[in-house]
Structure 1
Amino acid sequence: MVDEIVEHNEQFFADEANKRQLDNLRRILPVLLEKGVDNLNLTMFDPATKVKLLETLGDEYYRKGQTDLAIKVYVLAGSREKLQKLGKYYDGVGQVTQAINCYRLASDENSLLSLGHKCLENGHIKDAMSAFVLVNDVDALNKVGEDCLVKERWEIAIEIFKASGNTTRLAELGKRCVETREYDIAFQAFEAAADKDGLSALGDVCLADGKFELAQRAYRTAGNDTMLQFLAENFGKKV
């Protein structure tokens, strides 16, 4: 979104009249802040003046600690540098989710990648995943997924491998969880991998183990109409 705006505002070549106008607008910042950015009509200004005015408003929101509004205004202004600055601020104070959002809005893939690796080193798996998903770094995502497998954080691993499209590891995790009788997790893994054979096999195991409802879910997700009919006709009262 910022990329589309910033292409039209790379340089500021305001004439003297526009500069004087901007100086005057700075003097009425309190009134503009009170009115709120959503209620301002700035269509009468040329693009460059509008950008500088919005940046000035954003700076004032930031100074007052109203960072959500500052971000909103910087996005409207197409101010990538301001968003990057906010991202660094949030990163510095440990508010990683907000930092990721600022870098996302600024289309700053380098900072997202760097922050993702930092989160991974610090054990912040979900934040690392969020950053790597935004830059579509499949290798990094798979690395995070492998780390989750080592730590037996199955559900997060499933989410990560699904995001990276690693159906092989999802199917392997599903089989592993069947062996350890963690059937609900196995179902999630096979479903994420769209592994119909794995789902049908899980249904068979659940049926043999008397877990009829989960067996039905597995067969239904696998599209195994034969076993669904078998369940309905022979164990209909238990599902």
Structure 2
Amino acid sequence: MELRAMREAVAYRGDRLDVVSQWLSALARTETVVGVTLASLVALLLLSGGRWWREAGFLGAAVALQSAVFLAVTAWVQRPRPGVAPLDTAPPTSSFPSGHVGASVALYGGWVVLALARARGPWRYASTVLLLVPAAVGVSRIHRGMHYPTDVLGGLLNGTLTLLLVGWVVLSARSPAEDRPGRPRPSEAVLGTALGEEAGGPGGLRAGPDPARRRGRWIGDVRGTLAPRADVDVTRSSAARKGR
């Protein structure tokens, strides 16, 4: 049944569709995924001054883990490539699961997870457009005769489960200092700056207390600090008078 579907997909090949499918497949090539991932890690760490290490670790770990799972599964399953004329040179790995699809889910889906978890305003939901990339890559791999539809589904499953696992381990584990009330998360403040938006502004990210609140809190802290010292001074003065 799948081979029949593959042959029908091959029947729709044409110069334009072949070029489009080539560009879509290139979005998830090994060189592209490695390059974009490294650039993303550097950007996350530099923009935050190193405070976005959890977000960088999440993205890097998701891409690396899905790759490890892909290599292990493809070596175990050893499924032959579809019996149609391929448009690409077949890599040494087997057909199941699709490595291109799994990598695209981990990378581009990872960016969506970070945006939904940390960003605020329109950027949070605009990022979901990136979820179309894995689907487009999967269609392109079928069109180019490199994978069966179930291979694509296997890649989607690999990437999705990897994101869920790594996100639960890395992003959900925050230290008490990071969740201290009144302290903006570094990821929120930095992303707002990176996008050219003032943190806490319209459509921006959540920010900490405004300057007026901070001044009021500071004054309250100073008063709370000075009051006990004043009581001590009064007590000492009374004891001195009694001693006389």
| Larger helix proportion of the pair | 1
**More RCO (CA 8 Å, sep 6+):** 2
- TM-score, normalised with respect to structure 1: 0.23
